[in-house]
A and B are shown apart, each in its own frame.
Chain A
């Protein structure tokens, strides 16, 4: 198949499945087909020549809509490409569409999108996870091999787990955030979904690395992730924090993850016990820091320069108030209020400042643990995909979906979710491996070997031809 035929097939699949899954907010048929013809002329050295990819709708794509799943950016088109997008384009990848997401990446179920839920292809009554649910489903439903998502607290790993695919959150600073619409700047990362760890590695190798437009991107050499991805994992030490396998963990998930630990042992890995005594504060710390930064990052959506502006205001403050009241959804407003509160004069020390101190303790836990192991294994999510509406009225229950994932964001270390089994109802379960700073190669190696040796052996109900 030529690149153009392949892209056409991808677009057809995306359009066909989108009615059921709602994973795309926009599908770029014309752009992608034109681009396919252009890419044919690229040198074969272009590592992603003709590679179809979906991009989460909070990552800027020049002249394409970038809505962040929010009414306030309805029809907003980005003026420039995010660095990651530019690197993908330069390597020959073709953007086929923008993926649905929780509004401003705030959510764990995709129910907060202003443009409708994304459905889990394994069970259309269930959520795909969030906030990068659209990106996860675009891959899980077989439309694309890989997609970009974003993570602030598990937003790639959790939907990867719930959709039965591989999802990587790299080290903070590994991929430039330039062009990723900020939610919580000190926690945000661009992450990658793939049908396999190999797909993820391929994309990571292209988009990782220092970017002068992002002061927090690191000047650390990018290794050849594919070169080591099939290495023997014999002797690799996998740490298991048993204390975290308690309350709130579904039985099926626990059993699948316990089983995966045994599988790793069979593959030659050494299993060691580790302790992460401050991990239990992760969610609390996360929701203080993330909301504080969000309250500031989302201030620019004020109706003055771009995006939605409410009609019928007669003075400035009224315009601000109405625009933000009508433009933002409930979850976003809840977090802006929380964040505004924790930064307020008189509360800063008790909340934001203390949260930063606890964050430092969590980081120390991980540093200590990595003296004993190469990666820490836990479930990615305490549960399989839950039903749409099941937790949407209970924000706290929803926040706990991220209990295993947020620590990696707080610390800045990389984490990967790899499918490791199915529940009794036939829903996918993911294992999470969190590694030390810049250890993406190790995580991809551990993920790839597992996928090859213990494939899931099942496909979602809704899957592209």
Chain B
């Protein structure tokens, strides 16, 4: 960012809550069905139909709120947000306005600026104030292409209409695009972690908008802000914010000023463009939804929900660093996914070697997961078997490369590590007598090298090790080999 300027950024995230049915009717929320297959009089907005709140939405909403450090309000009110659009069947969206489901949260995220290669410099904690998370229904989808006569007609698919959303709104606490980036990733992971949302931006079940303005450092007043939409990935969002910051600074410096408007991220051209100006802004005419009673959440319910909360990822990361002596980077990678974290914890404890467990997991295991598209809890290689491999390695029965090979084999076939070791003949020879024999043979056959070594060329030690390993077909225990070689040479 140009010297002397600062950016002011606030974030809005719409997260689809992971319920099986819609917020006000019993229709399925499944993705990718035939258009309008999952609809009924309620979500079609037919005359006379009435909404009934899905209790699961309250449960998932509570989990989401707690995961983000929000306070759940004992009473909240649904309100109607009125506007016309073909994908909005009732002509209003049932949302929450002045009495949201949860409010006044504080969330500590880890954030860092990135260098030109996108590498993080130094992660530091930052406290973000979350204003609220309210519950609302999603709209449907207008379809303008891929169907007959789309040059003449548009279509409406209401499968998504009535899908439950939590809208998470922060204060304008972010000062850089990377802070916003780290925040969205944090929220995404937290929601997935507690099972409140799949939070998958590609499937559209997590959507963000950013409100961006800039001002001179030291200025107290805010300048006009721009709302950014169509941010289809966290990376696009970061780029869009970055672009917007630079655009606004340039516009202010050129004396043109910035108009209050909504802009879209154009991912083809890597820039933002105007969607609508402030003059076109809707007057949503919010008023309390008379078809629904106020949503009352008991203290007992909130306590039950709190009791059901799992350890959250950041707390787990700190604990892994402390208990298992992991680096921030390794621990962060492990808690990047709840199932991987659970797998790791089991393996680390069962193997008694958290460090090696982490190394092997982050190299081989995670790569296999990515290649196969499986989740850690679907792996044929169990965490217990994984621990067995680590232990066998620690006992010197196999070497590091063999350990990796066993992981790959067991992951793909489900064979036990012991079977793989047997089949591949990995069992190491640790019998000193047998190794001594080989060593004697090598010393006898390599007189020149022995003399050179004894004459002070210690680099040749590796040569002897290599020869012994080769002669033993890689099965000799390297530790034992080292010891015997040293004494014999």
The interface of chain A, by Cβ under 8 A from chain B, is 58-60, 66, 68, 73, 76, 78-80, 82, 177-182, 184-186, 212-216, 292-293, 295-296, 298-302, 304-306, 316, 320, 340, 343-345, 348, 352
Contact = CB atoms under 8 A, between A and B. Distances in A.
B287 A348 contact: yes
B45 A305 contact: yes
Interface residues of B, number: 28
B456 interface: no
A316 B52 contact: no
Nearest to B91: A299
Nearest to A188: B290
Contacts of A345: 283, 285
B431 interface: no
B290 A300 contact: no
Per CB-CB distance, the 10 closest pairs between chain A and chain B, nearest first, are A299-B91, A186-B290, A185-B290, A343-B285, A181-B47, A179-B48, A60-B48, A181-B48, A300-B45, A304-B86
Interface string B48-72: 1111110000000000000000000
B47 A300 contact: yes
Nearest to B53: A215
Given A73-B47, A78-B47, A304-B86, A340 B156 contact: no
B82 interface: yes
A345 B97 CA distance: 14
A178 B285 contact: no
A60 B45 CA distance: 13
A73 B91 CA distance: 16
A177 B50 contact: yes
Contacts of B285: 295-296, 340, 343-345, 348
A127 B3 CA distance: 77
Contacts of B49: 80, 178-179
B77 to A, nearest CB: 12
Contacts, number: 100
B291 interface: yes
A300 B45 CA distance: 7
9 contacts: A79-B41, A180-B48, A184-B290, A214-B50, A215-B50, A296-B82, A304-B89, A343-B287, A345-B285
Contact of A302 (B41, B52, B84, B290): B84
B293 interface: yes
A215 B291 contact: yes
A304 B88 CA distance: 10
Contacts of A306: 46
Given A344-B283, A344-B285, A296 B80 contact: yes
A59 B48 contact: yes
Contact of A216 (B44, B47, B91, B293): B293
A58 B48 CA distance: 8
Contacts of B52: 212-215
Interface string B284-299: 0111001111000000
A352 B82 CA distance: 15
B92 interface: yes
Contacts of B229: none
Given A76-B47, A295-B285, A352-B287, 6 more contacts: A79-B41, A215-B50, A215-B293, A299-B92, A305-B44, A343-B285
A343 B90 CA distance: 17
B283 A305 contact: no
A60 B287 contact: no
Nearest to A59: B48
